[in-house]
Every structure is written in C-alpha cells, then in structure tokens.
C-alpha cells in the first residue's frame, strides 16, 4: 500500500489486517506507520520506499497481488501538486508492471468530465490515466466529500459552522454533493479485494442522498446543537477568495483550501451505482455520518486525521550555520513514564502549560501569513505518534518514555525544533531537558530570534514548570492507585 500514513490509508491498513490480509506498507518515513497501534501485527510489513525512486519502488512491490495507491501531493507540493501527482502515478504504474502486480486500486474524486472540471478533480483523472498506462488493471473508486472524524471535509464543515453564525458564501453553496461516510469508503476498498468483478472497473461511490452544501452546513449546525446558521450566497466571491476565507477560519492551509474550494463549483453526484450491488452495505446518511464523526471526537477516538499525511522535512544542517538554543533542565521526583505522559499533553485543547494567550496570538499571526496556526489541534488528547501534527508543530522524534521532538511548521525565517529528553536518575526520579533550537535564515531570522528571546523566559520556563506539576500529579495518582491495590 502506498499512502498508508494518510487519512484513508491508516484506517484501511488496520481494516485489512483485521480481515486477515498480509499488508506491505511503503513509506518514506516508516516511523509514521510504526507508531500506530496496529503496527505490531505480524501480518504487517513496512518498507522504507521513495515513490519517486523506481530503483527502490519496483523491489518493494514484488510479490504483491494487489496494490492500493492512496497518494496525493496537495499537502506538500503546493501549486505544482498536479504535475507531481501525475509523475508519481506514472512511476508507480511502471514499477507495478515490472514487479508483476495483479491489480491497482485507487481512490479518486467524483465530478463530471470536460473542460469545466476544476484543476483538483482534473488532476485525479490524470492520475487514473497514469496508473492505467502500463496495462495493469486499475480499480477506481470516485468519491465526493468524505465525512469522518478528522477528515478535511468534516473539519471545514465543523469550523465554518462553529465559528460563523452568519456566513457570506459563494454561489457554490447551492452545488449538489453526494457525501459518503468514511466507514463506507473503507468497506468498499476492502470489499473490492474479495470481489473479482471490480477488477479494472471505475465506480462512483456515495451515500444514499445528494444534498446542497447549504443543506449539509445546516445539518452540521443541528448536530452540534447550535442555533440556525444564516447563510447568504453572493455571486462575487471567487474560489480564490473562498480559499483564503477557509484558511482563516478552518485548520486547512491556503495550499489545500484553494484546490478544494475550486472543486466546489462542480456537481459531485454519482452517475451510476453498480458498486452497491457488487459490495452491498448499509450506507450512512449525511446526518448519520456527521453524528458518528462527532461521537468519535467526543470519545477521543479519532483514528486518523487529515494532517497526519503532512511532509516531514529532512533534519536541517544544524552544523552548517548559527544555531540559537534555549536549554532548560529540571529534576523531577517522578518516574520517566509520568514525565513523558505530561510532555505528550502539550498542544491542542490542553494548551502549552503556560502563557496560552501568547501562543494564541502567535497562532493568529501565523494564520495571517499563510501558516497552519493552532487550528490543527491534535488527534488525541493524551497520545501522540511519529509524524502527526500538534498545532503548528509536527512530531519528528518519538522514543516512548525518553524523547519527544517537534519541528515547527509555522511561517518562520528559519528552522525551529522543540525537544524534550528524559533521563532516569534513580528510582522514582528523572531529569527533563527542554531545548528550543533555531537556525535563522538571513538577517530577518536573526531579528526574529532576538525579538522573541524576552518572551522565552515566560513561555519556556512556564512550560517546564507546568510539565513538572503535571508529572508529579500523575505520579501521585499512580502511587495512590498502587497502595489501594488497583490499576492507575
């Protein structure tokens, strides 16, 4: 499987393993997969593979009966994503042919064909053609909006409805759409492997109803228990302006929001339903899909989210220039697991232990210049995994009970890393080293560092104190539980 670290790929891999399939995941950064709860399954194999390198790709596909291609470059390639997606798909198709892969399965996008198709949806068609170019049978599933906890579409809907009691919207708000629940998508993808009749076919997949985006927004408001949202369509808002608005109000960056906004002008409704006969299942309505997603969020059981597939840049050359560091160390009378759990709670709804208002201001400033800000939050309130996003940081180092490293993805004139390292110091004690590193780019980077240094004493000192207090609290609870003879 290519794309196992993404939103759909992560859920599909788990489902395939539960169904008894042996799954080989191809990943440029294996740690993003090895940190998942299902990574210990004996039927899972993870191979470090660069999809852009045919020399490593062909051997990685050898022995595979079928290959899922769930790759999309929109989160990493910016305006050139269509060209990159086409090139990667061509390389994958050639490697699959050479490796003797029996079939390829691809999840694309719904939408009428023709010159009016948005660049985003047209790119999906180009990928379909590229995958089929070498003669390997390709099964294509075309979906519109996928609704599930953590999906990009769901997050756009939720944030727009939660934050805007009155919405000035483009005319696309009346465009028909046929959403599908993420669980139904996974069922189709899994079921296709056991359904030979799907080989080489192209199938539209959607839920049982087609609605206007206007209606979907109102259903979201009702399921959130909010008052009726006033939605006012106007003809002057272009997709470009819509994408900036989505960027400011929701967690999505402008690079992702723009192609999605442009695609909203195209009706995305199933033109045929053959798949419902080949792989029958109970299809969730839009309301049922939204309700299920909100339930997963309330239970803190969001299995994957849209930000997990983001790129992890290579480590910067810290030895190649000036690097500023803010290092603070404290000894804590708590075992390493308690300290590590406290460290892993940073970000999202928990905040950053200190000066949350400063973090909020920094998040808004980042959004204004095109960065992710704090809106991405975190997938789970307690657990983190390699490669996932925490507000405007990404986890680039993870050693349980010992180390957590976060790379900044905010707009910066340089490279920033925030690292926590835990070292045992005897029974029930350990040291925690918290280090912020910054490698500036040019004069602007130097000015940036010196302008924020005065705030470090407030932010980083308070963070270390907060982590210490939380670790002590957890250690006390664990000690009390043990003394009472029960599990903490």
Torsion, Cα 239 241 243 246, to 10 degrees, reads -130
Closest CA to 160 of 204, 213, 107, 207: 213
Helices (H), 100-228: 119-132, 152-163, 182-193, 213-223
The answer as to whether 476 is a domain residue is yes
The answer as to whether 487 is a domain residue is no
In terms of domains, do 338 and 400 share one? Answer: yes
In terms of domains, do 406 and 355 share one? Answer: yes
The CATH number assigned to the domain holding 477 equals: 3.30.530.20
In terms of domains, do 88 and 232 share one? Answer: yes
In terms of domains, do 189 and 145 share one? Answer: yes
Neighbours of 258 (CB within 10 A): 23
Number of domains in the chain: 2
The answer as to whether 388 is a domain residue is yes
The answer as to whether 313 is a domain residue is no
Torsion, Cα 268 274 277 279, to 10 degrees, reads -70
The answer as to whether 36 is a domain residue is yes
In terms of domains, do 341 and 286 share one? Answer: no
Q: Retrieve residue 223's tokens.
A: 């399921």
In terms of domains, do 273 and 323 share one? Answer: no
In terms of domains, do 238 and 102 share one? Answer: yes
Whole-number Cα distances in Å, 324 to 327, 413, 440, 450: 10, 13, 8, 10
The answer as to whether 235 is a domain residue is yes
pLDDT digits (tens, 9 = 90+) for 159-201: 778 877 877 776 777 888 899 999 999 999 999 999 999 999 9
Query: What is the per-residue pLDDT for 253?
Result: 62
What is the pTM (predicted TM-score) of this model? 0.70
pLDDT digits (tens, 9 = 90+) for 68-83: 999 886 554 445 677 8
The answer as to whether 311 is a domain residue is no
pLDDT digits (tens, 9 = 90+) for 193-230: 999 999 999 999 999 999 988 899 899 999 988 888 88
The answer as to whether 112 is a domain residue is yes
In terms of domains, do 277 and 372 share one? Answer: no
pLDDT at 475 over 80: yes
Task: Give the domain range for residue 260.
Answer: 7-306
In terms of domains, do 356 and 297 share one? Answer: no
pLDDT at 368 over 90: no
Calculate the CA 7 to chain-centre distance: 6
The CATH number assigned to the domain holding 168 equals: 3.40.50.720
Helices (H), 118-151: 119-132
What distance in Å separates the CA atoms of residue 321 and residue 344, rounded to the nearest whole number?
A: 30
Closest CA to 246 of 306, 333, 331, 302: 306
């Amino acid at each position: 499987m290519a794309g196992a670290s993404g939103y759909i790929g992560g859920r599909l891999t788990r489902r395939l393993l539960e169904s008894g399939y042996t799954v080989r995941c191809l990943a440029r950064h294996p740690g993003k997969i090895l940190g998942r709860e299902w990574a210990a399954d004996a039927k899972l194999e993870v191979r470090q593979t660069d999809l852009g390198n045919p020399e490593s790709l062909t051997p990685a596909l050898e022995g595979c009966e079928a290959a899922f291609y769930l790759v999309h470059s929109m989160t990493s390639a910016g305006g050139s994503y269509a060209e990159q997606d086409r090139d990667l798909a061509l390389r994958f198709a050639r490697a699959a042919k050479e490796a003797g892969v029996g079939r390829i399965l691809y999840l694309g996008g719904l939408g009428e064909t023709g010159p009016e198709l948005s660049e985003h949806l047209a790119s999906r068609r180009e990928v379909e053609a590229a995958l089929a170019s070498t003669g390997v049978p390709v099964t294509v599933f075309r979906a519109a909006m996928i609704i599930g906890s953590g999906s990009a579409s769901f997050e756009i809907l939720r944030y727009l409805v939660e934050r805007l009691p009155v919405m000035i919207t483009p005319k696309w708000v009346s465009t028909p759409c046929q959403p599908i629940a993420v669980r139904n998508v996974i069922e189709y993808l899994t079921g296709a492997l056991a359904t030979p009749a799907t080989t080489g076919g192209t199938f539209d997949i959607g839920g049982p109803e087609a609605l206007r985006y206007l209606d979907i927004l109102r259903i979201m408001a009702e399921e959130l228990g909010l008052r009726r949202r006033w939605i006012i369509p106007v003809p002057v808002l272009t997709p470009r302006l819509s994408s900036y608005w989505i960027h400011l109000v929701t967690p999505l960056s402008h690079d992702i929001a723009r192609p999605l906004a442009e695609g909203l002008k195209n009706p995305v409704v199933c033109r045929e339903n053959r798949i419902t006969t080949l792989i029958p299942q109970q299809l969730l309505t839009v309301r049922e899909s939204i309700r299920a997603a909100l339930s997963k969020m309330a239970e803190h059981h969001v299995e994957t989210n849209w930000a997990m597939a983001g790129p992890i840049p290579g480590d910067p050359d810290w030895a190649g220039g000036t690097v500023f560091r803010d290092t603070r160390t404290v000894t804590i009378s708590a075992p390493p697991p308690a300290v590590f759990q406290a460290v892993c709670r940073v970000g999202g709804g928990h905040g950053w232990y200190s000066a949350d208002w400063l973090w909020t201001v920094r998040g808004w400033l980042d959004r204004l210049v095109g960065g992710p800000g704090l809106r991405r939050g975190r997938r789970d309130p307690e657990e983190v995994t390699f490669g996932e996003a925490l507000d405007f940081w990404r986890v680039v180092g993870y050693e349980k009970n010992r180390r957590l490293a976060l790379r900044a993805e905010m707009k910066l004139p340089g490279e920033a890393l925030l690292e926590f390292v835990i070292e045992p110091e005897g029974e029930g004690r350990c040291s925690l080293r918290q280090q912020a590193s910054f490698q500036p780019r040019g004069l602007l980077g130097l000015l940036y560092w010196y302008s924020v240094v005065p705030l470090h004493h407030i932010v980083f000192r308070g963070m270390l104190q907060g982590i210490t207090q939380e670790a002590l609290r957890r250690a006390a609870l664990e000690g009390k539980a043990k003394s009472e003879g029960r599990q903490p």
